[in-house]
Structure 1
Amino acid sequence: MNPITRAFWNRFLGDRGERAAARYLRGRGMRILRRGYRTANGEIDLIARDGDTLVFVEVKARRRGQPAEAVTLEKQRRLTLAALHFLKRYNLLEVRSRFDVVAVLWPDDDADPEIEHIRDAFDAQGRGQMFR
């Protein structure tokens, strides 16, 4: 597969995964506040509210394997900085927050995906660490 085709399919799969993750989380009582929050440090796929907790959600969608394994320490560091940016921008530094991962595994047919929600998947990483 050429790089342009691969990039298209990766983006398509990622968008599809984010929509599936948002539906899944809404079905469990979470309120989706924002999708695709971008900063110079990276992007937060979903920002949600779970009761009194602000949740920064990284969505990993794959066709095979273990999608959650793609959330590396470097990715966690970038997510931490992006979350800190959001919290500062909206004056929410005192709000309880956490990082979740939603792993979406798409089958080869058009069946519904397998979705794994990992609550409190990791702590804030690097210089941008936040208080809980």
Structure 2
Amino acid sequence: MINNREIGTIGEEIAAEFLEKNNYKIIEKNFRYKRLGEIDIISWENDSICFVEVKTRSTLKYGLPRESVNFRKRENIKKLAQIYINRHNMHDKSIRFDVVEIYIEKNQDKIHLKEINLIKNAF
């Protein structure tokens, strides 16, 4: 049986492929800094650096995927983005925070993609 961590990883892979097909250039995945958490995908889209949070769900039992990107999660992503910008001297770049929602269907060890929803400027 596939666990939630594996589902999250699969969702991130699906999101990365989707973003690349939609003219995003991925520059880093799973950026972490200490205990702040992680940014799932960092990419370029046109002239903007995009910090992308990926949320994968097989049920809406706990709400829409985007709803799980709560205030605390958004604040952590913003802090991590600032660290990334400082490290890479990107202060003059336009930035954006996007969310990719992945809806899947689970059948034992198989996952079927049902829908992908890209929310640009999510927060």
TM-score, with normalisation over the residues of structure 1? Answer: 0.83
In the other structure, the counterpart of 2:101 is: 103
Contact map agreement 2:31 2:39 (CA 8 A) in 1: yes
In the alignment, is residue 53 of structure 1 matched against residue 48 of structure 2? yes
**Match of residue 29, structure 2, among 28, 35, 50:** 35
Match of 1:119 in 2: 120
Give distance in 1, aligned partners of 2:80 and 2:23. 24
TM-score by length of 2: 0.89
Amino acid at match of 1:92: M
Unaligned runs of 5+ in 2: none
Q: Which has the larger helix fraction?
A: 1
CA–CA distance in 2 between the matches of 1:13 and 1:69? 18
Note the residue ranges of structure 1 that are not aligned, 5 or more in a row.
123-132
Q: Secondary structure at the match of 2:81?
A: helix
Higher strand share: 2
- How far apart are 1:75 and its partner, in Å? 0.2
Q: 2 CA distance for matches of 1:28 and 1:121?
A: 17
The 1-side partners of 2:106 and 2:40 are apart by 24
State, as a whole percentage, how many aligned pairs show the same letter.
34
How far is the alpha carbon of 1:84 from its aligned partner?
0.2
Q: Output the aligned Cα RMSD.
A: 1.4
How far apart, CA to CA, are the structure 2 residues paired with 1:108 and 1:50?
31
